[in-house]
Amino acid sequence: MARPQKSRTIYTPPQMRGFKPYGLSCCKTETISMSFVEYESIKLVSYDKLSQEQAAEKMNISRPTLTRIYNKALNTIAIGFIEGRTIEINGGNYQFQKDWYRCNKCHKLIEGLENHFKCKNCLIFSKNELINLNQAGTAS
């Protein structure tokens, strides 16, 4: 019987919900998913320039597990680029270090409810418009 999977630690969710190919009609593209954990592995190793050992420690996982997650993320990006697919970033088995919310109207990220202010793009201002990204952390 397989061991239950540990939650992976993520410090900041991505600013965007995904990427769309340029020059193709959006309604004609297929979607491919990338988990928050895969996104975090790309961010830490390729963007923040941490070693895989350092990134694994930061995410509270082993280095071989990070390598598997990182390679899956690279494969997802390659499929998106080569096949012209939209990449959606969501789901996975994760936990954030802080409370994070995303506005359902304008999609901006909000760190904690105390930082929720009405922005120019939102006509309605209430807590009901927020998606709690921390509670979504067990979806795959």
- The residues spanned by each domain of the chain are 8-99
Cα-Cα end-to-end distance for the chain: 20
Beta bridge partners of 109: 102
Determine the topology of domain 8-99 in CATH.
Arc Repressor Mutant, subunit A (1.10.10)
How far apart are the C-alpha atoms of 88 and 33, rounded to whole Å?
5
If one counts every other C-beta atom within 10 angstroms of the C-beta of residue 135, the result is 10
Beta bridge partners of 10: 96
134 to each of 6, 61, 139, how far by Cα in Å? 15, 19, 11
Give the pLDDT band (50/70/90) at residue 108: confident
Q: What is the pLDDT of residue 124?
A: 65
Per the confidence metrics, is the pTM higher than 0.85?
no
Token pair in block for residue 10: 């993520």
The whole-chain average pLDDT of the chain stands at 84
Pair type for strands 100-103 and 130-132: antiparallel
Q: Does the pLDDT at position 56 exceed 80? A: yes
